[in-house]
Structure formats: structure tokens, C-alpha cells
Structure 1
């Protein structure tokens, strides 16, 4: 009798084990299988929220077939504790495994409402945009220049979105802005805190896009900009061409800043850099207007007019029509393309360049000799005269 009971018990245990294994296997299959979501959604995970709460939210929006399986899967893979607050784009048919990876990864926002503060050479703008999950493209909600006219309505809309739960913030620094312009731009970002006591060294803040949060410190963001730029400078200097007419990476940054201010066209930066490198090798003065402008403005804003003859003749450290070689410091914060151009200029014999047309986007025409350059300048002057007659 006891042998029969033991046999039946063992059989039952085996059956239960097989059933459990089947359930576990089914759960794993459900966890990695294509999900039921018909269209992409933007999932907001609030600070302090748990994986259980996220799972229930996803279930209510038709993104998962079983919130329990998602929670167990996250626990089993030791990712529940990595849940990040933010806004995350969940694609259609995303599996529970993919969803867990999205909400426990870098924490970078991939959807939702975003306020973008743009610090450019000629202006500062505030843009509020929202990612459309269906098209994965941003839709602009409002954009304005805080210093412009008739901005009260736009300002009110901005403040409404700014104070909305889940709004994310981004600062975009354009190539070629000065350190003073960056600091002034950050002062106007009203979601940040902290005073900036000193303008950072020119040329050593990285033009880039930076995600920030309410209450972030301006000084800490500037430190991040410095660290990012130092990495870029070091990499460009490590990969530099041989026989450059300067010996330090600091001089390379100076030249990169001049290249940055002379052209906004990435494809011709190497040629522009070659002109200045060739001039340095020939012992010629650089004769570039942006350095003179920097000497006049000290990098504090835009000149807003043409250079005067007296300014072109003035003797100062930044007037490259008067001094030999490079100015003492950079004149702006160069981007990666300009740094690459300064450390690996194009191989040309060009010594001169002038604008190709009245549209800066058309770039420049280059010349190897002064007579050729004079012809190019004359052609540009004719365009100016024709434009003046047309007005």
C-alpha cells in the first residue's frame, strides 16, 4: 500500500513539475513575443513610480497582454530596480522585453513635450515641440525670441507647457557662439539655477545638444560642456596631420575658431583651413575679419555693422591685418568639423577666398594668386552693385 501511495505521489510531483515548467516556458514566450499594441504610444513614467504601476498603465493602454508577466520578467532579469522616470516611445507590437529595456535603459526621453532653448550666433529662441508617436517627428507648438516684440502670448503658452508634468528640457548650442553668448543664454533659461561668476575660456565649450532637468545648475552644465570639448580637442589633436605650422593643440583650437566663423558650410571648412595654414607657412598675415570683430566686441554679442577702416588699421592682439600669426585666443567655440579641418586641412595651394555670392549659404570661391583673387573680388563687388541698383 505504502509503495502505491509513494508511487502515486511521485507521479503527481512529476506532473506538477512538468506543468510548472510549461507555465514558465509559456510565460517566457509571452514576455518576448510581439505585443498587442496597434500604434506607437508615449509612456510617461513619473518619479517614484514602480514597475507594477507601469505594467498596469501599459495594460490599460493595450500595450501588454499581462501586466503580471511584464513585472515578473522585469524582476527575473533584475531590471525592476533600474526603472527610470521620463517619457518613452513604445513602438507598435513592442514585446514586454523591449518595453522593459526602454524604461530601464539610459533614461533619455524619446517622446513627449520638449522645450528647446537654442543659443545661436545671432539670436536666442525658445521652442516648444512635441513628438508625434505616429510619425516619430516633432510638431512645433510655439517658438519665439524672448527679446522680440509681441511675445506675450507665446510666453504664456511656453510657461503653460514648461510647468506641465512630464515636460522635458533641452539646450542647443550652435557652432561659432562665444562663451559670453553661452553664459548669457543660460541665464535666460528659467528652469535652471545657479549663478555664473566667470566667463569660461573662449573655445573650450562644446557646441552640442544638452538635456537638462528643472533645477539643474548652470555651472555644472558648463563643466559638462568643457569636458565634452576637451575630449573633442584631444581626439582631433591625436589624429592631426603632420607638419602643421603650429605646435600646440591650443593653437589648433584658435585656428578652428577662425574657420568656424569664416564659413558655416561643413564641406568647405577644410579648404578654408588650408588657406590659413598656407598663409602661416608662407609667413603671410591671416587678414581675416572675424578676428578683428572679436577684438572690437570682445565676444560680447554681434557687431551688427561693417568694420570701419579705423578698426582694420588699429593695432591690437586680434587684428590679423596688423599682427603676424594667430591671435592669442580662440574667437568662438568651434564644432567638431572645424576642429577636424584645423588639424587635417585640405591639401591645396589656396591663399585667398571671397564670398561666391550675396547669399552666405553659397560659400566661397578660392584662389591661389592675388590677381586671381582680385578678379573674384571684382565679381563679388559687381553683385553688390547690382543688388544696390535693384533696391
Structure 2
């Protein structure tokens, strides 16, 4: 019975399961050191891949490949456009106006700045600079890369030229200078009114028009005049900004020395306040030739007495308009003149003037001036705007000949001066009874 029971236990499901399971405890010491076999991996479940997932995976792979190619391409492009160019020395290249990107690339290739015009166009397009390339005259350094060439054209680093307009030129003389400049282009609509442009040095790029320069000079004049007029002396007898310009033009023609401008202006201001005639020689010349600036010959003695609107030996007060285009310094001098009692001045023989408060002092200065002139060499036959006798006069030419009012050259200082009153009824040495302080009526102008 016990044997049957034992057999029954051995054949039970529990005993069979126990035999099938690995034993937890080794049967012997040698068996304990043997590694146990790993359980087999679970069976791999194969899932059927959908269509959209496959497409997305392919697109992602393609995108990654394209990104890698683009990065590689940009690195190659960056290396090419930053590499030194073929130029061996600096070179100036002119890019005409209304030139397309492909034409600009061809110009740079012909001039030896670049060797790959297609790469130039591509890089300009990728950097969104294709429409920013400017025309003008540009200087490219030796070894300029494509990137540097584009930067130069985009940032507008064009070569700047300059034109200097000296103080004291008439508007016609200024226009002549503009037309003599072959870098400027185009015509000028009309000659500006006298005294409406500011003499100065103006910068411009090749291809800029002459009318643009005129506009810039007129704008500079308006700005300067507005500023100077605002800070003028409250005691000035001039009532308008235009009168200030008129008087400044006379001061400009009377002296080219910076240290004399305010004092010369003071003399004219004092004369205006005393209702004395200005008696300025340059106004005679302008009354005869207008904008031409110079007579090209001496002033006839009869012309000193001629009644023209600009002859301040005859008229009272200011002439009807400026006789030149004064600079900023002359405008400042009239706006804030020296506070003196001077009423007269005459050349002193050294390029400056001798000033006087009284008529007697002035006579002595004139005598000294005439002696100095007589001691000098004979006047130049080409001298202009000096006092000359009339053709039918038997009197001799005075030795005071000197060019003083030409204005066609930069005013670096006045050459030998001249006294237009010499030998005339206005000559202070020959008319000691002439009362300069007495106002006289303006003679009627003779109709031509």
C-alpha cells in the first residue's frame, strides 16, 4: 500500500512539473559552478509596415541627405568666395548707372577683379544683395575676393571727387567751373541768382550731375544764411537777410584776408549808419560787366562817374543785388562786424589795408599808398580792373595798376591793389573839399 502510494505521488502532475523545472539547488559542488543556459529569446513579432510610414521615412532620409549636401555646398561656396582674387595691384573700376548684376560681373571679370562671374552672381543672389549693387567709381584692393567685391559695391564705397568753389566768384564764373569739370555730367537748368550759392569744397561721385552740385550749393547757402542771420548783431542797419548777402559780397571782393573781414565790414556798416556812400571799387566793375566778374581791362576814369545801379561812388546805400557769392566768413563778418569808428580804408602796399576814422588820416594813408605804388615796378600790361584814362584823354596812366577783382582764381590773398578813384573827381588827394559825409541824390540813369 505504501509502495502504491509512493508511485502515485511520483506520477502526480506536481511531481512531474517539479522535475521539468530547473532545480534551484545544485546536486553537487561541481554542478554549482557550471553556467546555467540562458532562456531562449521570445519570438519576434513581424508587423506589417504601413504606406505613409514608409513614405515619411524616405522623405526624412532624403531631407537629411539634402541638408548634408547643402551644408557641404555652402562650405565650398564660402571657401571660394572668400579666396583672394586675381588682382595684383589696386585698381579703379567704373560701374555705369543702370547696370545689371550679370553686366557688373562681366565688367569685374574684364577688369581682372574676379575670374568666376557666375559665382559672383550666385553669391549675390543667395545673400539677397543682387538688387543692392551700386553704380559709381570703386577702388578694389589687390587680391580682392568675390565677397569683398560685393561688399564694396553694396556699401557704396565709391571714390569721392571734389570741386572747390572759391569765395567771391560770380554765379557765371561758378557755372563755368562746373562745366570745366569732366567728371560731372549733365546740364544746368539755369544760372543761379547772384549770391545764392555757398562757396565751399563739395564732394561727389563720378556720374553726379552738375545740377545736383548746384542744388547742394544753394541748399548749403540757405542753411548757412539762416543760421548766421539768427545770430546777427541787433545794431545792424541791414534789415533783411538779402541785404546782409549784398554787403557780404562787397566785403568779399574788397579783401581776401581773414583778419580784415570784420573790420572792412565795420567800415561799411559805419558808412551806412552815417548815410555815407560806400565807394567800393568792385561795385563799379560789376555794374559794367555783371556776372562776367572782370572787365578784362582797366576802369576808365569816366566810368567812375557813370551812374549805374551798382556804382556805389554814385548811388547811396547798397546796390540792388550781390556782386558775387560771398563765403561763410564774409557773411559772419557782416552779421557781427568789428565795433570801430573806422570810415575809410585804403591798400597799405602789403596785401592789407590801412584804416582811418577821420578824413585827414585817410588822406595820409592814401598818400603813403600812392608813394608805395609809384616805387614799384611798372604795372603789368595784362593787369585788369585798374584805373585807366579815357581813350581821348591826354593824361597818363597812373602807376597803380594791379589785378584785384578777377576772382577767376582761388582767393589765396589779393594781388596788388588799385584805387579806382585815382585821377577822378572822387580822388581824395585832388578833391580835398569833397564832402564824403553829405548824402547826394542818385543821378538818373541814362537810357541806352
Do 2:94 and 2:137's aligned partners in 1 also have CA atoms closer than 8 Å?
A: yes
Q: What's the TM-score, normalizing by structure 2? A: 0.55
Equivalent position of 1:45 in the other structure: 95
Do 1:173 and 1:182's aligned partners in 2 also have CA atoms closer than 8 Å?
A: yes
- 1:194-235 per-position Cα deviation (integer Å, ceiling 9, x unaligned): 886xx6533224546697999x798x9866765554344334
Do 2:178 and 2:210's aligned partners in 1 also have CA atoms closer than 8 Å?
A: no
Do 2:92 and 2:137's aligned partners in 1 also have CA atoms closer than 8 Å?
A: yes
Do 2:160 and 2:206's aligned partners in 1 also have CA atoms closer than 8 Å?
A: no
Q: Following TM superposition, by how much is the alpha carbon of 1:331 offset from its aligned partner in structure 2, in angstroms?
A: 1.3
Considering fraction of residues, name the structure with more helix.
1
- 1:35-83 per-position Cα deviation (integer Å, ceiling 9, x unaligned): 6644221112245532233334435545347645543453355443244
Do 1:291 and 1:331's aligned partners in 2 also have CA atoms closer than 8 Å?
A: yes
Q: Following TM superposition, by how much is the alpha carbon of 1:248 offset from its aligned partner in structure 2, in angstroms?
A: 0.9
Equivalent position of 1:201 in the other structure: 193
Q: Distance in 1 between matches of 2:247 and 2:266?
A: 11
Equivalent position of 2:130 in the other structure: 80
Q: How many residues align?
A: 325
Q: Following TM superposition, by how much is the alpha carbon of 1:375 offset from its aligned partner in structure 2, in angstroms?
A: 4.5
Question: Is 1:234 matched with 2:226?
Answer: yes
Equivalent position of 1:286 in the other structure: 278
Equivalent position of 2:417 in the other structure: none
Do 2:85 and 2:114's aligned partners in 1 also have CA atoms closer than 8 Å?
A: yes
Question: Is 1:369 matched with 2:369?
Answer: no
- The range that moved more, 305-314 or 257-266, is 305-314
Question: Is 1:328 matched with 2:323?
Answer: no
Question: Is 1:384 matched with 2:373?
Answer: yes
Q: Following TM superposition, by how much is the alpha carbon of 1:254 offset from its aligned partner in structure 2, in angstroms?
A: 0.4
Give unpaired runs (5+ residues) of structure 1.
112-169
- The range that moved more, 13-22 or 278-287, is 13-22
What SS does the aligned partner of 2:353 have? strand
Q: Following TM superposition, by how much is the alpha carbon of 1:366 offset from its aligned partner in structure 2, in angstroms?
A: 4.2
Q: Following TM superposition, by how much is the alpha carbon of 1:327 offset from its aligned partner in structure 2, in angstroms?
A: 1.6
RMSD: 4.8
Equivalent position of 1:259 in the other structure: 251
Q: Distance in 1 between matches of 2:145 and 2:235?
A: 55
Q: Distance in 1 between matches of 2:121 and 2:340?
A: 62
Considering fraction of residues, name the structure with more strand.
1
Do 1:259 and 1:273's aligned partners in 2 also have CA atoms closer than 8 Å?
A: yes
- 1:283-336 per-position Cα deviation (integer Å, ceiling 9, x unaligned): 443221111222233444522344344433444432323433222211122233
Cα 1:21–1:273 shift into 2, 3 Å = farther
Cα 1:331–1:15 shift into 2, 3 Å = same
